[in-house]
């Protein structure tokens, strides 16, 4: 995989860190003689969906050497992975795409977005004074693993798109490899807690610099996760107050980031929107029945799925805030949609009307688009803050 992406071969330290999370029984490789020429893997996750959580295969480490392209190796690995997830009863699959056009043909749809932000520290005054009884502490890795895992579990319960991370995964997130520093400092790890109850954390690096006017450092925020609004504001205030920094940047932030409304200067932070998680409905009825809906309603979908023929067909969804049921049905459909576009709307990150106006969804009954948008609406944008 490193060769396919033009990166250096992994060090022994990197291999040790990787081995703790690698699922060898879900790792694939193509060989040409003794040489590995293509790879793909899966991590076994649970993903938060509106109103619940479902098993999800996290597709990772996908690469084909340039010498072996256009031989069907990627298609064969995608086929094997989706068959495996279907047999295991995982209704969802997810991945991050190195190139956007690759995975649509395998039924993956762009389901979440993420923001890259930059804030000028001189313009980072808050509109209101903070209040709260918690405190900030720097923590070493052993304490951070347990405390950060607790915070993560609290935060993900109500955040569609977040993946469940146990302490094994948190150790991986905190592995401070030289590969990731890019000339910046080792990790700073900050915990926000009230009494002995952790409710937020931040991980960041700094890169010191000076020019003729004085300090001109840069802080790179790698992760900030909070289970309460109080912890969120306090952690951002801390990050924006670090001495000798001129600017703060962060990637993989939620598109509905509240920070803009904490700041007195509403033109901060400068924001760029990028694609985030690509989702695949491996089992359409199980996926639709496994989430909850903002309002009660009924929809019949005519789903087209060329790559996973077990999904191709019509499904009646009866769902609401408290329960949902989905089953195959032969009645006239309300909407005709490709499985990738249904995945794009599944977490609430895209509206059916937007997809219809792009020619991706056909409204077969008047009012069905509005009903679908009302049912699939969520109170917060889906977000996945962890890469895999």
Q: At CA 249, angle to CA 248 and CA 251, rounded to 5?
A: 155
> 264 exposed, middle or buried (CB, 10 Å; 0-12, 13-18, 19+)?
exposed
| Residue 33, both tokens | 């003689």
Assess whether 103 carries a catalytic annotation. yes
For the chain, the three-class secondary structure string (H helix, E strand, C coil) is CCCCCCCCCCCHHHHHHHHCCCCHHHEEEEEECCEEEEEEEEEEEEEEECCEEEEEEEEEEEEECHHHCCCCHHHHHHHHHHHHHHHHCCCEEEECCCCCCCCHHHCCEECCEEEEEEEEHHHCCECCCCCCCCEEEECCHHHHHHHHHHHHHHHHCCCCCCECCCHHHHHHHCCCCHHHCCCCCCCEEEEEEECCEEEEEEEEEEECCEECCEECEEEEEEEEEECCHHHHHHHHHHHHCCCCEEEEEEEEECCCCCHHHHECCCCCCEEEEEECCEEEECCHHHHHHCCCCCCCEEEEEEEECCCCHHHCEEEEEEECCCCEEEEECCCCCCEEEEHHHHHHHHCCCCCHHHHHHCCCEEECCCCHHHHHHHHHCCCCCCCCCCCC
Catalytic residue among 45, 96, 376, 388: 388
Q: Which of 103, 188, 192, 315 is catalytic?
A: 103
Catalytic site positions: 103, 388
């Amino acid at each position: 995989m490193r060769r396919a992406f033009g990166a250096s071969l992994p060090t022994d330290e990197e291999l040790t860190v990787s081995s703790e999370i690698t699922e060898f029984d879900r790792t694939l490789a193509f060989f040409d003689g003794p040489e590995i020429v293509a790879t793909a893997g899966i991590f076994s996750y649970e993903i938060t969906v509106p109103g619940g959580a479902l098993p999800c295969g996290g597709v990772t480490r996908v690469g084909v050497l340039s010498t072996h392209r256009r031989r069907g190796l990627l298609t064969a690995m995608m086929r094997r992975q989706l068959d495996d997830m279907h047999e295991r009863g995982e209704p969802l699959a997810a991945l991050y795409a190195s190139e956007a056009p690759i995975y649509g043909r395998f039924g993956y749809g762009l389901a979440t977005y993420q923001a890259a932000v930059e804030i000028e520290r001189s313009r980072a005054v808050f509109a209101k004074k903070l209040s709260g009884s918690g405190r900030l502490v720097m923590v070493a890795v052993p304490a951070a693993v347990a405390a950060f895992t607790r915070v993560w579990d609290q935060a993900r319960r109500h955040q569609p798109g977040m993946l469940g991370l146990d302490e094994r995964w948190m150790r991986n997130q905190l592995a401070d490899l030289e590969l990731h520093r890019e000339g910046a400092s080792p990790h700073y790890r900050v915990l926000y807690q009230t009494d002995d109850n952790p409710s937020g954390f931040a991980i960041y690096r700094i890169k010191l610099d000076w020019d003729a006017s004085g300090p001109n450092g840069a802080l790179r925020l790698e992760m900030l996760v909070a289970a309460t609004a109080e912890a969120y504001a306090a952690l951002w205030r801390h990050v924006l107050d670090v001495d000798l920094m001129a600017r703060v940047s962060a990637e993989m932030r939620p598109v509905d980031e509240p920070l803009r409304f904490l700041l007195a200067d509403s033109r901060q932070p400068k924001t760029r929107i990028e694609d985030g998680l690509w989702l695949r409905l491996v089992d359409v009825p199980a996926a639709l029945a496994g989430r909850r809906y903002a309002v009660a309603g009924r929809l019949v979908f005519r789903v087209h799925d060329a790559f996973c023929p077990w999904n191709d067909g019509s499904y009646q969804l009866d769902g609401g805030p408290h329960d949902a049921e989905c089953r195959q049905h032969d009645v006239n459909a309300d909407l005709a949609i490709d499985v990738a576009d249904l995945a794009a709307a599944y977490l609430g990150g895209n509206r059916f009307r937007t997809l219809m106006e792009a020619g991706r969804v056909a409204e077969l009954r008047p009012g069905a688009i509005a009903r679908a948008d009302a049912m699939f609406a969520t109170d917060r944008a889906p977000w996945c803050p962890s890469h895999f």
